[in-house]
Amino acid sequence: MSEQRRWPRAGRLAGGLRLLAVLAAATGALPAHATAEYALQTGVSWYRIENPFLFPNNSTDSLKTTDTAWSTDLRFGLFLPLPTQRTNFQLTASASKMHYGSSFSDYGSSPTDTPGIGGSSLNYTKKQVEAQYTWEFSDWLSGRIRHRIDDRLYNYFGGRTSISYPAMVSNVEPEHPHIREDEAEVAYRFSDRFDLPFTFTQQTLSYEVPDRAKMYNMNSNTWQAALRYASGRKSIFSGGFRQSKVKFPERGIVANPDPVAALTTPFLNQVTDFDSGYTDSEIFVDTAWRYTENTIFIGHLGSISRQFNTHAERNSKLLSTELGIDWHYSSKSTFYGRIWHSPQSNVEADNRLYVINTGIQGRNVWQATPKSRVTLLLSLESQKYDSFSVNNGVTTLQGTGSGQDKLLRIGLRYDYDITRRLAFRADAMREQTMSGGGADYTRSYFQMSLNYTFDNISGSYTDANPMGYNKARQQIEDLR
């Protein structure tokens, strides 16, 4: 189901406006005594969901259907200056209790279940937490510590199967991946323009279904060193080196899921078929260039050397590129455009490994009135994957092999602030996947939400913030 995907592309660059906003905050005038800001938001949401397991369009499975769901939502945001905004602590948390209709709250999920017989449910609590401590001990030494967790519904693909890899995974079981990310950065500023940021990031991905967890549980450690140049409040340019070590620690010897092939090949070696991990080493340059007051260009160029732990013959050279623009072309409208070609993070790839993602995305935000906002999203992606073939003796198992999929995504969102505290949102998304194997897959969802927010103070009223959200409320909206 598409509700697990955020609207903006989660690219390598967070966006020019955000980068430059951080720069401006670090160099601008600050009050002697800053005030803590917090916001508490509660709400309810109603969904209409089509084909959450992403069965092919020609499937007759009873789970290829449309049903409704609803959720109760609770969100909290805190912005705490320590003692000024240059040194601060930010906390944002969200929990949504999902309640699905009868089609997805009581269904059969194992490979041998008869469709329509119950026992499984997609009901769950979606949880997100982001915490960040940003510090600046002097004009020359600064940094941040960040922690993030994300629990949400698995990104299903292909629907039910009786013979899959890993074994005994039907691909319609209730599954909620757990992502944890911890990051620490220290930056030494040796002039007004230049600094040296050093960053270490640790990330883990954990699954609930035992056989899927054995295959796909992942942890990675990444360190990065860079030289960064800040042109006043105008632009940022940086270049450096990044290395990521990715491990799949639970892979080993597993039973052959094909009952015919198991007669001669009873066991498969996941390390032999897929390897136990790899190391990416990247030389990169990044930029967020403010061309005019209303136009920012985004750029990333990286050369990646990928080396596998076991199979040296699979080592490869990869290119990572991203170009973008943030264009505030009128007082009420902003366009965000991105074009990219890069390896996809394994926490995003889900049931595909070693994915190279090429895509283009446009997102237009129109602030029609101070109380209403319309957002339109259109993206097209090509996902080339190489999961390597599994030699089980007879069949090609689902989830293995190589191929290329194309994904078209269209989204429309309408936000209306009934009052500064009471807000309504209508959100629709449709995705169509065209598989390299010839099958097409379509899913969609529609959501309506009503939320009430209590905050202790209001923020500045500007064209970009016409309802005067404080920083904590803006953190909540960014997390949604």
DSSP per residue, 411-439: EEEEEEESSSSEEEEEEEEEEEEE-TTS-
Contacts of 19 (CB under 8 A, 6+ apart): 13, 236, 288
* Segment 239-249 mean pLDDT: 95
pLDDT level of residue 116 (50, 70, 90 thresholds): low
Position 14 pLDDT exceeds 50: no
Per-residue confidence at 27, pLDDT binned at 50, 70, 90?
Answer: very low
pLDDT > 90: what percent of the chain?
A: 60
CATH number where 104 lies: 2.40.160
**Residues 188-214: what's their mean pLDDT?**
92
pLDDT for res 303: 96
> Above 80 in pLDDT, residue 223?
yes
For residues 224-245, average pLDDT? 93
Burial of 369 (0-12, 13-18, 19+ CB in 10 A): exposed
Q: Which range of residues forms the domain containing residue 45?
A: 2-479
Mean pLDDT value across residues 354-359: 88
pLDDT greater than 60 at residue 151? yes
More confident residue, 23 or 193: 193
What predicted TM-score, i.e. pTM, was given to this entire model?
0.87
Q: Is the Cβ–Cβ distance between 320 and 306 less than 8 Å?
A: no
d(CA 299, CA 321): 8
Beta pairing partners, 255: 267
How many domains does one find in the chain?
1
CB atoms within 10 A of CB 327: 18
- Residue 108 pLDDT: 80
More confidently predicted of 234 and 321:
321
Is the CB of residue 450 less than 8 Å from the CB of residue 46? no
Report whether the peptide linkage leading into residue 83 is cis, meaning its omega lies within 30 degrees of zero.
Answer: yes
Query: Would you report the helix, strand and coil content of the chain in percent, each value rounded to 5?
Result: 10, 55, 35
Give 200's strand partners.
184, 223
What integer pLDDT is reported at residue 24 of this predicted model? Answer: 46
Amino acid occupying residue 405? D
The most confident of the ranges 41-55, 146-160, 266-280 is 41-55
Contact 142, 23 (CB under 8 A): no
**Whole-number pLDDT of residue 205:** 94
Give residue 265's pLDDT. 81
More confident residue, 401 or 361: 361
Dihedral pair phi/psi, residue 282, rounded to 5°: -125, 130
